[in-house]
Amino acid sequence: MTVVYTHEVAQSNTWNFFKLLFRWRGSLWKVLWPELSLWLVLYTLLSVIYRLLLNEKQQLTFENIVKFWSAYAGNEFVPLTFILGFFVSLVISRWWDMYLSIGSTEKTAVHIACYIEGDDEETVTLRRNIIRYMVVVQTMVLSKVSASVRKRFPNLEAFKTAGLINDSEQQVINDFESVHPKHWLPIYWAMALIKKAHKDGQIPSESYMLDLYTKLSEFRAGLGKLSSYIAVPIPLAYTQVVFLAVRLYFVIALFAEQYLIQSSIGDNAEDGKIRKQPELSFKFAIDLYFPFATVIKFFFYVGWVKVAESLFNPFGTDDDDFDVNAIITKNLQMGLAIVDNGVGKIPEQSRDLYAK
Amino acid sequence: MTVVYTHEVAQSNTWNFFKLLFRWRGSLWKVLWPELSLWLVLYTLLSVIYRLLLNEKQQLTFENIVKFWSAYAGNEFVPLTFILGFFVSLVISRWWDMYLSIGSTEKTAVHIACYIEGDDEETVTLRRNIIRYMVVVQTMVLSKVSASVRKRFPNLEAFKTAGLINDSEQQVINDFESVHPKHWLPIYWAMALIKKAHKDGQIPSESYMLDLYTKLSEFRAGLGKLSSYIAVPIPLAYTQVVFLAVRLYFVIALFAEQYLIQSSIGDNAEDGKIRKQPELSFKFAIDLYFPFATVIKFFFYVGWVKVAESLFNPFGTDDDDFDVNAIITKNLQMGLAIVDNGVGKIPEQSRDLYAK
Amino acid sequence: MTVVYTHEVAQSNTWNFFKLLFRWRGSLWKVLWPELSLWLVLYTLLSVIYRLLLNEKQQLTFENIVKFWSAYAGNEFVPLTFILGFFVSLVISRWWDMYLSIGSTEKTAVHIACYIEGDDEETVTLRRNIIRYMVVVQTMVLSKVSASVRKRFPNLEAFKTAGLINDSEQQVINDFESVHPKHWLPIYWAMALIKKAHKDGQIPSESYMLDLYTKLSEFRAGLGKLSSYIAVPIPLAYTQVVFLAVRLYFVIALFAEQYLIQSSIGDNAEDGKIRKQPELSFKFAIDLYFPFATVIKFFFYVGWVKVAESLFNPFGTDDDDFDVNAIITKNLQMGLAIVDNGVGKIPEQSRDLYAK
Amino acid sequence: MTVVYTHEVAQSNTWNFFKLLFRWRGSLWKVLWPELSLWLVLYTLLSVIYRLLLNEKQQLTFENIVKFWSAYAGNEFVPLTFILGFFVSLVISRWWDMYLSIGSTEKTAVHIACYIEGDDEETVTLRRNIIRYMVVVQTMVLSKVSASVRKRFPNLEAFKTAGLINDSEQQVINDFESVHPKHWLPIYWAMALIKKAHKDGQIPSESYMLDLYTKLSEFRAGLGKLSSYIAVPIPLAYTQVVFLAVRLYFVIALFAEQYLIQSSIGDNAEDGKIRKQPELSFKFAIDLYFPFATVIKFFFYVGWVKVAESLFNPFGTDDDDFDVNAIITKNLQMGLAIVDNGVGKIPEQSRDLYAK
Amino acid sequence: MTVVYTHEVAQSNTWNFFKLLFRWRGSLWKVLWPELSLWLVLYTLLSVIYRLLLNEKQQLTFENIVKFWSAYAGNEFVPLTFILGFFVSLVISRWWDMYLSIGSTEKTAVHIACYIEGDDEETVTLRRNIIRYMVVVQTMVLSKVSASVRKRFPNLEAFKTAGLINDSEQQVINDFESVHPKHWLPIYWAMALIKKAHKDGQIPSESYMLDLYTKLSEFRAGLGKLSSYIAVPIPLAYTQVVFLAVRLYFVIALFAEQYLIQSSIGDNAEDGKIRKQPELSFKFAIDLYFPFATVIKFFFYVGWVKVAESLFNPFGTDDDDFDVNAIITKNLQMGLAIVDNGVGKIPEQSRDLYAK
């Protein structure tokens, strides 16, 4: 379910944004803690081995490895930020477009309520069924896309149980033999119903009918776009490059950011080697047992890549993923409510307060 | 309320842009001063403690901490600019799209005035009420989105007091039972009224009616997009990464940018340690008590992030936020004025000056 | 007026682009010379003071300041390029969209000429007046937006003098009481005229009428977008950050780029302090009296920011600003010419050269 | 064929993304291994020659070359990341737009099924043939664009064998003499058939006919856009710059990243030269025989550029390329199934579960 | 003429991309060789003067200049890549939009062929002339935009010779007095012809007529957009900044990248000065007479800027420029062929292979 926090930053003072840091759902902390914990455990392990288990010669070798990777592990050896910037931009623009493509029955429902008048049961059923068919096709597409929808609607039987289709409709779908998806069937039913309603005079004008077709078409187009986004993801190699670059950076940092015993006594050991490493001297000025600086880098780089990873497939079960089951329910309930015979009651028209 | 300064830079000479620096509303200075003050107070506090309260050994430890963070606090340890550039771009494109989505009654009103002719009270009321219903739905949506609108219109009672709805309309809204928002109701009323007007002959052509439907639909679509932007914000983790990165940078700078006593006497103290830090030597060349350079960085980085933070939710109470209450009022007044019987008076047609 | 140079670079050889450097209107040189002159004067002043007026001890203090800022004034202390890249991108995309939003009467005029036939004076007047009203509303909006249009058309009286409106029209505008802008009035007149023409049979088909409404609506929408761009500029704080960052950079450069006397004799003065500054040694290798390198930076950074500043409000009086007065004149003249009774003369139809 | 892995990252935990690394199709490893192997072979060869075949003086020369390129081969000498970021962005936006332009017969088929009713063979044939003609034009365009489609459909004969056209149609195409492509012919047939069906009363309303024309027009426009993307690629020089920059970087790295014998004994050889290279000292601290760091760079840079190269022409035979032959087959089968007399059977209408 | 190489990289193996390097038309090599030759000549000249003509003291001065610029000429003194990235992005997006705006007669022709039936000469002439008028207006606009079209069609006489217009049409154009462009005239003719055809019953339905108007309007809008792109280019100052930055970089490199004699003997001359320049030591480790590294930079930076320069005005005579003359010819020939009485022959309808 999307994490909403917009209202809390209505005023942009620092305090409001500061408070955001203490949220858990959808937060940096929640996405980061498993990896950070793992990293810290490994880091400590290495540190302990180096300090307690290795003999002097092995320590020297270890220190050489540390120095070797230290020289590379500046953020210049693989410029993470740049690729992250472009990758996150790409993921976010796809994510937002996916959200806008899910679609809602509201607009169509309001037009149906306007165009198809009548309180008799047949007409009411007609209106309700068009909405229902829209939700059916949406559920069909989303069940391909989202694991949680697939879990709720594993097969047509589940559709029937949930009241989305009835026996007759299940029959028609099953009778239609095709290796290809049948998402278009309910849309076709809705269109055929509308055409029939036009013939029967329930929809008085051809223009109304075509307008409804356009609305249905837009709704279907959104769902089609959604399928495309899922069927043709960002190329695997790109995702792998980004994932690998960030993780390798911190695997290397396991070594590169180790604080060396030797360094804290660097001034005494005037052995030429040390003198050649002026750029490292501050790092070893105080022998910190906790790698503060690296942890901050971890928050930054892994946090940034996690934004991309959690938006990559927004139909999953992450905190920030779209709550598609709720969307389906809302689309059904609201759509049915709008087209039901409850509407049609427009308030009495009277002059407004400001009329002369 | 949006801060307008476009006219002052009609000519792009430096003087015009220079004068912009002396504005207060919506300015860098206004958004920055609380944080900058806080930072300077903490910086001074640390500086005073270090110089006056610590003994020599503690000072050495402090200096080691300073040197440690100094080595990291180049802008390379966390490349702020890059993430800021992408984040601000994202926020600005969402902000601008939100502004364009608020919508205006003007266009629809002009078409209503053209399509629905008649000076009798019933027709005038019809025209006015369509506009009013548009403003009602806009206010309903904006009251979900903006705290200030919510304050002005906390409930339907407030709508009635403000003359946006009357008893009968309030009744219909209340009678409609639904857990979902009812924003579509006034739009439905407007559409139903238009259809009735078509049936009654006030709107002579079906095409006019459908054209008005399209306008209403666009208006509603804008408001729906607005709701989406508020309901599905930029993922929390992204905002946290950016916020955290900039603030941590300056928390670290509290230490990293401290001027060390030792350094000012660095030449005398030829103790090897100092000689290894050539890249810091200039920083300590003059023992400045005010961290000029860091304050400039503060203006730059925090100012940039503040741009993003104040545009993040443009329906709040920041200087640069949209003045939605004024927009609602304008939409009502202007819409009503256009459709009122004041119009219809088109000037007498005569040959223009350039006609042959 | 826009500076056009596209044709000169039809072939992309270096010579063609090289020649562009020698243009003055709209050029880098023209926008840069005032600021560059000022900077050079201040730089020279500081240099003279340092070399001639200060005593040795003051010189040392000055040199310390220079060294202090030198250490910071690498382009890393505030990464100008990045913020400039994003800011200029934003300004250019707004600028281009503004240009496309100004609108032209040509398209509508051709359709009017097609749809409304007739050579009698009344019909000709009708056609001409629709165009005229379009230009009136354009001029009204642009006079809010552009100082030069406002100067030419300060009030309705000026509109009348210029032949844009007549007494009767001025009367109607004045009679309409409203605190809000009245830009919609002429559009309403045009639409009402078109509807009347349809009723009177001058426009035979309703579809023609609706098509003209669509054209007028697009024209008005463009002008509305234009107003939005001017009314809701890029947030002030963002503009200030960019302006400030670039200018502070060069204020600091006044000190940071000073050539020090001491340095030219650096080899002799083996005083430890010099030895700690290897990265500056080349800068002082030759005591240049003119800061070539900084002037090149000046061209680059200030030139880049100037691009943004001159496009920021393209309705001003910069060389590159849109020549809106000429656009208004063209829209009126061309529109009137198209709809006038001059047209209607279509050439005799005959077989073309390639017909079998 | 596109590599789909979206479902595997429904939840964004690291483990899911980690598993992605072990995929082969479309992976980084698959695109990289040939070049990486070649590079490693060359690297080893150079290393072996240097260590075993050269005499001491030649070794010195070799070492000088290594040092020379080492000094340049920081990622600053040619900033690869930046140009890669922009280039990959451009390629990906073109790639995605190409995918959306391929088009599907589904939407049109549903509308045809609705608009053209009738179970007699003539009407069924009409409906089927419109779909078939759409697939014919799509295949014609795609055979210009994709080598694998061209292989499957080298000429009209192959179209006939595959059942896409019949003798009569082949005749008409052959009879039409033109040096220009004839893609428009089948679209014209479809349109002419639709018009005839309207005249014959199979399509009762003109609006239906025009709606089908719009659908056909959109379908054709997509294919036209596709042709444009292929006919006007990203300028060759841009592709060359990017290709060359990345490859030259690693050609230089063949030398620049060689580990020198001398260095491992650097401390002994206090010959001044070594002392001048402090920034290289860590690289030589341990004489690694496998260039770990460079291989990581290789994964990053070449992997990134490979993303661009494989998406450059997504109609080729790469793992990530669109499976256009399958798309053609699906468009034919699904389109025919939809318009066939199988449809028309809409389920019996009954009240839904939630109806009051 | 556009350089097409898409098919050659259908498979993204390195070999295919490698082969691209050996193309000449539109290649990096072709655009770069004149400037690169010039640069190398100047570089050699300076080198020769320094080594052979200068005395020792002059050499020292020269070396000081070299060292001075060397210190600045890191890519940090003016960050070329960043401005190039943004500038090339801007140019490419404009270039691509220009290409899509040129327009084709194909779509309109197919619709004309459908809507206007009849084999009599009058109707055929009508259809042909509408197409011809479309090509006339396209040629008129392109002759303002492209030098090669202007050369082929310098005046109306040339239009007549080429069979684009006849005497009568030339007369009408000449008779219409206007200081403004007359591009709209042929469009107006086409529209008036269509209206007349509707009146005369050649176009049976008003909807067909309006559909053709829409197509003509889109065609005209594309050409209008094209004119805008040419009339309002990227601001001159921006182009100058980019051009200047890249070229100055290499003018400076003429000095900064000179190999110094002194350096090759650096170890002997232990004069303190050398010791202060550790970061240059590798550059001088081997006294290369050919500046390999700088030439690689040249390929990269100048190659990149050349991409922008050749796309800046894609209507010129560069290899990658659009072949507008061929486009005009194709539009005329193909358009005429489609609307000619050749069409109308739709193949006999028969059941397809897959029909049940």
Mind listing the pLDDT tens digit for each residue in B117-152?
888 889 999 999 999 999 999 999 999 888 889 999
- Picking from E72, E180, E232, the nearest residue to C99 by CB comes out as E232
Give whichever of C66-75, D167-176, E73-82, E214-223 has the largest mean pLDDT. E214-223
Tokens of E174: 């000449």
Tokens of D74: 């920081």
pLDDT given for residue A343 in this prediction: 64
Contacts of D11 in chain A (CB under 8 A): 316-318
The answer on pLDDT for B274 being more than 60 is no
Dihedral angle over CA of B231, B234, B236, B239, nearest 10 = -140
Q: Is the Cβ pair B110, C248 closer than 8 Å?
A: no
- B157-184: per-residue pLDDT in tens? 999 999 999 998 998 898 888 888 888 9
Name, in order, each residue with C-beta under 8 angstroms of D296's C-beta and a sequence gap of 6 or more. Answer: A77, A78, A248, A252
CA distance B48 to chain A (A): 22
pLDDT at position B58 over 60: yes
Q: Across the interface, do C126 and B355 touch by the CB < 8 Å criterion?
A: no
Query: Between C86, C207, C332, which is nearest B89 by CB?
Result: C86
Average pLDDT along chain D: 84
pTM over 0.95? The answer is no
Q: Which of A291-295, C304-308, D95-99, D264-268 has the lowest mean pLDDT?
A: D264-268
The beta-carbon neighbor of D282 closest among A70, A78, A243 is A70
Q: What is the mean pLDDT of residues A65-74?
A: 72
**CA D39 – CA D258 distance, rounded (Å):** 13
Report the 10 Å Cβ neighbour count for B53. 9
In this structure, how many other beta carbons lie within 10 angstroms of the beta carbon of residue E157?
11
A282 has a pLDDT exceeding 60: no
Does residue A85 contact residue B83 with C-beta atoms inside 8 Å?
yes
Amino acid (1-letter code) at residue A273: K
pLDDT-wise least confident of A124-133, B314-323, D210-219: B314-323
Q: Whole-angstrom Cα distance, residue D140 to residue D117?
A: 29
Residue that wins the pLDDT comparison between E220 and C4: E220
Q: Which of the 8 DSSP states describes residue A280?
A: G
Q: What are the residues whose beta carbons fall under 8 Å from the beta carbon of D149, sequence distance 6 or more?
A: D139, D142, D143, D315, D324, D325, D328
Give the residue from chain D lying closest to A252, CA to CA.
Answer: D293
Mark out the alpha helices in chain B (DSSP H runs).
14-20, 28-48, 56-72, 80-101, 106-115, 121-145, 147-152, 156-161, 167-175, 184-199, 206-231, 236-256, 261-264, 292-312, 324-339
Average pLDDT (B252-263) is 74
pLDDT of residue E265: 38
Q: Which residues on E lie below 8 Å from C345 (Cβ)? A: 172, 175
pLDDT tens readout for residues A124-142: 999 999 999 999 999 999 9
Nearest chain B CA: its distance from C13 CA (Å): 31
Q: How confident is the model over E292-313, as a mean pLDDT?
A: 87
**pLDDT per position as a tens digit, E166-212:** 998 998 898 888 888 888 999 999 999 999 999 999 999 999 999 99
User: What is the sign, positive or negative, of the torsion defined by CA atoms of E271, E277, E278, E281?
Assistant: negative
CB-count burial class (<10 Å; 0-12, 13-18, 19+) for E320 = buried
Cα of A72 to nearest chain B Cα, Å: 14
Buried b (16+ CB within 10 A) or exposed e, D230-256: bebbbbbbbbbbbbbbbbebbebbbbb
**What amino acid is encoded at B354 in this protein?**
Y
DSSP B279: G
Q: Based on the number of CB atoms within 10 Å of its own CB, is C333 exposed (0-12), middle (13-18) or buried (19 or more)?
A: middle
- The angle at the Cα of B171, spanning B165 to B175, to the nearest 5 degrees, equals 135
User: What does the pLDDT look like over D41-98, one tens digit per residue?
Assistant: 999 999 888 888 888 888 888 887 887 777 666 545 567 888 899 999 999 999 999 9
Strands (E) in E181-248, as ranges, are none
Residues of A in contact with B213 (CB under 8 A): 111, 114, 211
Q: What is the pLDDT of residues D105-128, one digit of tens each?
A: 999 999 999 999 888 888 999 999
pLDDT, tens digit, for every residue of C26-74? 888 888 888 899 999 999 999 888 888 888 888 888 887 887 777 666 5
A241/D20 Cβ within 8 A: no
**With contacts defined as CB-CB under 8 Å, which chain B residues touch C180?**
330, 333-334, 337
Residue C316's pLDDT band, with cuts at 50, 70 and 90, is confident
pLDDT at C67: 77
Cβ atoms of A219 and A108 within 8 Å: the answer is yes
Chain D residue numbers with beta carbons less than 8 Å from the beta carbon of A180 are 330, 333-334, 337
D257 secondary structure, DSSP code: T
Tell me how many residue pairs between chain B and chain C have CB atoms under 8 A apart: 247
Helices (H) and strands (E) in chain A, counts: 15, 0
The pLDDT value recorded for residue E264 is: 40
Nearest CA distance, A128 vs chain D (angstrom): 8
pLDDT at A263: 47
The partner residue sitting opposite D304, judged by closest CB among A128, A232, A241, is A241
Largest distance between two CA atoms of chain B = 100
Percent over 70 (pLDDT), chain A: 88
Touching partners of C (3+ C-beta pairs < 8 Å)? B, E
Q: What residue spans of chain D are helical by DSSP H? A: 14-20, 28-48, 56-72, 80-101, 106-115, 121-145, 147-152, 156-161, 167-175, 184-199, 206-231, 236-256, 261-264, 292-312, 324-339
Q: For residues B123 and E120, what is the distance between their CA atoms, to the nearest angstrom?
A: 54
Chain E residues in contact with D195 by the CB 8 A cut-off are 114
Q: Are B186 and B135 in contact (CB under 8 A)?
A: no
C-beta of residue E82 within 8 angstroms of C-beta of residue D192: no
Question: Model confidence at B342, in pLDDT bands (50, 70, 90)?
Answer: low
Chains A and D touch (3+ CB pairs under 8 A): yes
* Angstroms from D188 CA to nearest CA on chain E: 6
State which H helix or E strand residue C64 sits in.
helix C56-72
From chain B, the residues in CB contact with C230 under 8 A are: 4, 6-7
Q: What integer is the mean pLDDT of A322-326?
A: 90
Share above pLDDT 70 across residues of chain C, in percent, rounded to a whole number? 88
Is-contact C113 C339, C-beta < 8 A?
yes
Are residues D349 and A128, on separate chains, in Cβ contact within 8 Å? no
Which of B6, B17, B114 shows the shortest C-beta gap to C191? B114
Looking at residue C31, what is its pLDDT? 85
| Angle formed by the axes of helices B206-231 and B121-145, nearest 10° | 20
Mean pLDDT (whole number) for C246-260:
83
Q: Kindly write down the DSSP assignment for every residue of D206-252, as one continuous string.
A: HHHHHHHHHHHHHHHHHHHHHHHHHHSPSPHHHHHHHHHHHHHHHHH
* Radius of gyration of chain B measured on its C-alpha atoms: 30
Q: Indicate which of C98, C275, C300 best probes the interface with E, i.e. most E CBs within 10 Å of its own CB.
A: C300
Residues in chain B with CB shorter than 8 Å from the CB of A336 are: none
Mean pLDDT within C311-336 = 88
Contact: B278, C273; criterion CB under 8 Å: no
Contact A171 D347 (CB under 8 A): yes
CA distance B321 to chain C (A): 10
Residues B67-88, mean pLDDT to the nearest whole number: 75
Are A313 and D207 within 8 A, CB to CB? Answer: no
Residue of chain B with shortest Cα separation from A342: B176
What mean pLDDT, rounded, does chain B reach? 84
Distance from the B62 Cα atom to the nearest Cα atom in chain A, whole angstroms: 10
Over the stretch C330-349, which tens digit does the pLDDT of each residue have? 999 999 999 986 566 788 88
What local confidence, expressed as pLDDT, does residue E148 receive? 87
CB contact under 8 A, B107 and C217: yes
Does residue C5 or residue B37 have the better pLDDT?
Answer: B37
Residue C139 near residue C159, CB atoms below 8 Å: yes
Please tell me the distance in Å from A104's CA to the nearest CA on chain B.
Answer: 10
Question: How far away is chain C from the Cα of E89, in angstroms, using its nearest Cα?
Answer: 10
Predicted local confidence at residue E29, as pLDDT: 87
Burial class (CB in 10 A: 0-12, 13-18, 19+), A99: middle
> Is pLDDT at C95 greater than 90 in this prediction?
yes
Q: What is the least distance, in Å, from the CA of A69 to any CA of chain D?
A: 8
Q: Given this model, what pLDDT does residue C130 score?
A: 95
pLDDT tens-digit readout, E70-127: 766 654 556 788 889 999 999 999 999 999 999 999 999 999 999 998 888 899 999 9
Interval C98-124 mean pLDDT: 92
- Tell me the C-alpha to C-alpha distance, in Å, between residue C23 and each of C8, C19, C42: 11, 8, 27
**Across the interface, which of A184, A271, A316 has its CB nearest the CB of D11?**
A316
Separation CA B172–CA E166 (nearest Å): 69
Nearest to C79 among B6, B81, B306 (CB): B81
User: How many CA atoms within 13 Å lie on the side-chain side of D352?
Assistant: 28
Q: Is the dihedral of CA A145, A150, A156, A160 positive or negative?
A: negative
Of B67, B79, B232, the CB nearest to A75: B79
**Is E touching A (3+ C-beta pairs, cut-off 8 A)?**
no
Q: CB B243 to CB A88 under 8 A?
A: no
| Token pair listed for A315 | 């139909």
Q: What was the pLDDT predicted at B262?
A: 55
D69 backbone dihedrals φ, ψ, rounded to 5°: -75, -30
| Cβ–Cβ under 8 Å, residues D228 and E97 | no
Measured CA to CA, the distance from residue A79 to residue A77 in angstroms comes to 6
The percent of residues above 70 in pLDDT, for chain E, comes to 88
Kindly list the partner chains of chain D, i.e. chains with 3 or more CB atom pairs below 8 Å: A, E
The confidence score (pLDDT) of residue B213 equals: 96
| Per-residue pLDDT reduced to its tens digit, A242-267 | 988 888 888 888 888 777 765 443 44
Partner residue opposite C14 with nearest CB, options E35, E225, E237: E35
A114 interaction partners in chain B (CB closer than 8 Å): 188, 191-192, 195, 213
Nearest to E92 among D90, D228, D318 (CB): D90
Task: Say how many C-beta atoms besides its own lie within 10 A of residue E341's C-beta.
Answer: 16
Residue C349, phi then psi, degrees to nearest 5: -85, 125
pLDDT band at residue A76 using 50, 70 and 90 as cut-offs: low
In terms of pLDDT, which residue wins out, D77 or B191?
A: B191
What are the tokens at E77?
């003194």
Determine, for residues E333 and D277 on separate chains, whether the beta-carbon distance falls below 8 Å: no
**In the structure, do chain C and chain E come into contact, i.e. share 3 or more CB pairs under 8 Å?**
yes
Residue numbers in A near D324 (CB within 8 A): none
Distance CA A19, CA C241 (A): 26
Q: E351 or C215: which carries more pLDDT confidence? A: C215
Average pLDDT over residues B319-336: 90
Q: What pLDDT score does E272 carry?
A: 38
The reply to whether residue D281 touches residue A273, judged by beta carbons under 8 angstroms, is yes
C245/B351 Cβ within 8 A? no
Place of tokens 């909405």: A131
CA–CA dist A337, A355 (Å, integer): 33
Region A210-225 average pLDDT: 95
The answer to whether the Cβ–Cβ distance between D243 and E21 falls below 8 Å is: yes
Do D299 and A244 lie within an 8 Å CB cutoff? yes
Question: Which residues on A lie below 8 Å from D311 (Cβ)?
Answer: 235
